[in-house]
């Protein structure tokens, strides 16, 4: 096998107005990590397509570059992919930082968390195109993510076909009608131990970078989704919950707001259907043992897209939800070929 060539890493800084005034005083200056392709320094007149990689819940871009003796960082993975397949088109990889105090942003605009969709579309993409030698057109941009990053990637592609022409979602959130109720039951049980949602949220926020109860991770996914999908700055939490935590009664009005962000619910509506139909590639996968049943969400979305005559690549694999970054081995080459110059 050819020897893997080290890729160059660089970092950009964006001073965001879209994130200003967020409830949790999350920083408005963000690092944008970038992986440059093998030939970037050798060929100074060459321009490259770009793949934007959105992190999963409780993660951020720079974590994908962490070094480990037993696991590949994303740049090491891309370097190996190029070494294994010399025909693989080269691309720039962009890793935004969209972490929030609640663990994530879901990559949408929220008056509580900040306007993360606008941050990416109007701040990060223009910065990357201004600072790096990109092929600055939608035909040469793709977006991919895992879990929360997967639904975020779909959301951006569905709303901005002017920016992206290919998308991949690894175990992306979705099919809320079926996958969310089990999480809400779990949520109700767990927040009782803290005297209710406000106590659970305070425990999480007070922990800072210190240790925190592991059981709060899934609780925070509900909080972050609420802040993203059903914000209400007039409420004590800053957002409405889709469930009464005392007896697990669903609040249908709030849950209806969440459904407006579910790709399964809205993919057949305009302008989303037209945006999806324009994409050069839609890649969707999930593990058949996914603990959040997101393999069923993937199947449901794929079924709906195919009923609309929208082509989609669908794969399943024998694994759960966690520690599946190896699936980038499937999506990144496919995206690179879909957006190659």
pLDDT tens digits, 151-181: 999 999 999 999 999 999 999 999 999 999 9
Report whether pLDDT(2) > 90. Answer: no
Q: How confident is the model at residue 6 (pLDDT cuts 50, 70, 90)?
A: confident
Q: How confident is the model at residue 56 (pLDDT cuts 50, 70, 90)?
A: very high
Report whether pLDDT(147) > 80. Answer: yes
Say if CB 50 and CB 94 are below 8 A apart.
yes
In this predicted model, what pLDDT tens digit does every residue of 211-234 receive, in sequence order? 999 999 999 999 999 999 999 999
Dist. CA 147–CA 322, nearest whole Å: 9
Q: Which two tokens stand for residue 25?
A: 């005083």
Q: What is the DSSP letter of 91?
A: -
In this predicted model, what pLDDT tens digit does every residue of 268-323 receive, in sequence order? 999 999 999 999 999 999 999 999 999 999 999 999 999 999 999 999 999 999 99
Say if CB 89 and CB 49 are below 8 A apart.
yes
Dist. CA 256–CA 251, nearest whole Å: 9
Mean pLDDT in residue range 72-82: 96
In the chain the beta strands, taken as DSSP E runs, fall at 8-15, 29-36, 50-54, 92-95, 109-110, 114-115, 141-146, 166-170, 243-244, 249-250, 281-287, 313-317
The 3-state DSSP class for residue 155 equals helix
In this predicted model, what pLDDT tens digit does every residue of 108-124 receive, in sequence order? 999 999 999 999 999 99
Within 10 angstroms of residue 276's Cβ, the number of other Cβ atoms is 22
């Amino acid at each position: 096998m050819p020897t893997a060539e080290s890729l160059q890493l660089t970092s950009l800084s964006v001073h965001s107005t879209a994130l200003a005034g967020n409830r949790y005083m999350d920083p408005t200056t963000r690092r944008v990590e970038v992986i440059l392709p093998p030939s970037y320094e050798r060929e100074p007149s060459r321009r490259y397509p770009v793949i934007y990689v959105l992190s999963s819940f409780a993660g951020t871009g720079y974590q994908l570059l962490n070094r480990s003796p037993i696991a590949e960082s994303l740049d090491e993975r891309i370097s190996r992919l190029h070494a294994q397949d010399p025909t693989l088109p080269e691309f720039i990889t962009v890793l935004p930082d969209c972490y929030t105090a609640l663990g994530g942003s879901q990559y949408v605009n929220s008056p509580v968390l900040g306007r993360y969709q606008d941050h990416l579309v109007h701040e990060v993409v223009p910065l990357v195109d201004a600072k790096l030698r990109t092929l600055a057109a939608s035909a040469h941009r793709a977006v991919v993510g895992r879990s929360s990053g997967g639904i975020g990637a779909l959301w951006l592609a569905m709303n901005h076909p002017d920016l992206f022409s290919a998308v991949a979602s690894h175990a992306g959130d979705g099919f809320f009608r079926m996958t969310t109720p089990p999480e809400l039951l779990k949520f109700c049980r767990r927040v009782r131990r803290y005297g209710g949602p406000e106590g659970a949220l305070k425990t999480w926020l007070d922990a800072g970078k210190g240790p925190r109860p592991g059981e709060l991770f899934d609780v925070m996914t509900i909080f972050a989704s609420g802040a993203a999908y059903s914000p209400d700055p007039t409420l004590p939490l800053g957002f409405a919950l889709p469930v009464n935590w005392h007896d697990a009664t669903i609040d249908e009005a709030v849950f209806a707001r969440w459904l407006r962000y579910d790709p399964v619910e809205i993919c057949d509506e305009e302008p989303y259907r037209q945006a999806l139909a324009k994409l050069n590639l839609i890649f969707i996968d999930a593990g058949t043992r996914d603990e959040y049943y997101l393999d069923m969400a993937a199947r449901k979305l794929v079924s709906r897209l195919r009923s609309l005559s929208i082509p989609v690549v669908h794969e399943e694999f024998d694994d759960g939800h966690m520690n599946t970054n190896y699936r980038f081995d499937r999506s990144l080459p496919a995206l690179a070929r879909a957006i190659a110059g």
